[in-house]
A = this chain, B = another copy of it.
Amino acid sequence: MDDNVVGRAVSRRAVLTAGAAGLAVPAVAAGASLAGRPAGAAAGATRKVTIYAEALPGGLYGYGLAPGRATVPGPILEMWEGDTLEITLVNRTDQRLSIHPHGVDYSTDSDGSPLNASFNGPGETRTYVWRSREMVAAEGRRFLPGSAGYWHYHDHAMGTEHGTGGVAKGLYGALIVRRRGDLLPEKQFTVVFNDMLINNRTAPDTPMFEANLGQRVEWIAIGHGGTFHTFHLHAHRWADNRTGLLEGPADPSAVIDTKDLNPGGSFGFQVRAGEGVGPGVWMYHCHVQFHSDGGMAGLFLVRNADGSMPPGAEDAIHRFHGHAHAAHHEGVLE
């Protein structure tokens, strides 16, 4: 186990990290983004970031942190509660588009919706401001929720008033707001169930996520499109609460390994890769049977702690690519 993940210098952490399952284009180096803030620092830092929306091969669109670097999904954006992100969105396409966040605070002119005339025309640049906050005391020992959560952002203007065209074609990504004291992961994976696709791909071309045994891995799961889904990860489980970890022995949250993942929803959790089960190739997939049969499945490769391949892993990967999803839904047996 690698317990020094907590001890490492938080200031080296990138607040904006590249999408783990980037489409074709390589991930943007963390150095290109903004440095994190130590856990003890005062709330309220404002960071500026420029995001480029671009057309991609295959009719897709993506967000990226540099020109020519757009990915599907877009980069993982992160904030500490209290921080502000000023996003300059450069629209390098010939379509109307925007960026609309979940979970954070914004004025109507940063809504990202045509309703509020908040979008980029073709070729236009526009700034969107996202603020976050800590919980505050309300009456009766209750608290107004802060912004911390596993959120997401997406287009809200391409194709329809709700961005249906942009969302269908890849304009989406993860947004994480962390509460002071939250544990930081060593690896992050964004999984977007978008109609019958995962990150706009289908098996066996879906992402294969990799980690070494014991690494703290963070999954951010996002739903989009017009279809219902259930996200399932083999051999790992998490608490169905804000962080995926139990917040003490009295935390009443259910522990789950399958969760509904429907359009507009998102959740996240951290696990130790292979903890209690060992290294190997583990499936993640939509548990709606004809969705997984149809290609909504991918691989989580847990390597040995030293990074080497565990026994059987190559074979499993070969099977996945060779024939695992060749025969779609062979039908009901008699």
Contacts and interface: CB of A to CB of B under 8 A. Distances in A.
Interface in A148-171: 148-149, 151, 158-169
A218 B277 CA distance: 29
Contact of A230 (B264, B290, B333): B264
Copies in the complex: 3
A245 B139 CA distance: 10
A162 B292 contact: yes
Interface stretch (A17-25, A30-38, A69-77, A319-327): A319-327
A165 to B, nearest CB: 4
Interface residues of A, number: 119
A49 interface: no
A265 B232 CA distance: 9
Nearest to A1: B138
Contact of A287 (B241, B264, B281, B290): B264
A136 to B, nearest CB: 9
A268 to B, nearest CB: 9
A40 interface: no
Interface in A1-60: 3, 6, 59
A275 B139 CA distance: 15
Interface stretch (A119-127, A205-213, A249-257): A249-257
A234 B148 CA distance: 16
Contacts of A131: 276
A242 B237 CA distance: 13
B278 A247 contact: no
A292 to B, nearest CB: 4
Interface in A225-243: 225-226, 228, 230, 232, 234-235, 237-243
Contacts of A266: 258
Contact of A145 (B165, B230, B239, B291): B239
B254 A252 contact: no
Nearest to A194: B289
A103 B257 CA distance: 6
A285 interface: yes
Contact of A108 (B6, B224, B312): B312
A303 interface: no
A334 interface: yes
Given A59-B334, A111-B234, A247-B142, A287 B316 contact: no
A143 B252 CA distance: 12
